[in-house]
Amino acid sequence: MQLSLTLAVSSLALILQLQATGANFASTCTTGYISGDTFHSSCYNDAGQLVDTSINLNNCVANYDGQLTCVHGNGGYSSTCSGCEIAAGIEYMECYCSNGSGGSPASIVDLGQYALFVFVPPLSAE
């Protein structure tokens, strides 16, 4: 229990620090891909180890009339978007999203623009 609380506090402190400095996951992660509504990546932890991590993008990406945007809270983009893939490195996601008028234009969102996408890879249990 104590270890879990310590990890949670450490993770929160790191996220707050990165929010203040404007850092994003692309500076520590090397690969990325979308599977369903989850973004998977390989990122370096503080010890320099490459570890796998993931985040459910439905929790933080929304579709507003065909335009993807990052949000704080339940975005639910995947119910109105299709063909999503990582574009231009690992920081951008492109999808075809319903605009409410019968069309589904391409839309790109910068995942690294928001602190929600700071990945805190799991620490090894050694």
Return the ∠ at Cα 102 (arms to 109 and 83), rounded to 5°. Answer: 40
The whole-number pLDDT of residue 2 equals: 46
Q: Report residue 68: phi and psi, to 5°.
A: -75, 140
Is residue 19 domain-resident?
A: yes
| Domain housing 59 | 2-117
| Residue 123, domain member (yes or no) | no
Closest CA to 68 of 36, 40, 94: 94
**pLDDT higher than threshold 70 for residue 11:** no
CATH number at residue 99: 2.30.60.10
Closest CA to 118 of 5, 20, 4: 20
pLDDT digits (tens, 9 = 90+) for 73-118: 789 999 999 999 998 777 889 999 999 999 999 999 988 765 444 4
Stated pTM of the model: 0.69
pLDDT given for residue 90 in this prediction: 79
Q: What total of structural domains would you count in the chain?
A: 1
Residue 104 one-letter amino acid:
S
CB 109: neighbour CB atoms within 10 A?
27
122 inside domain: no
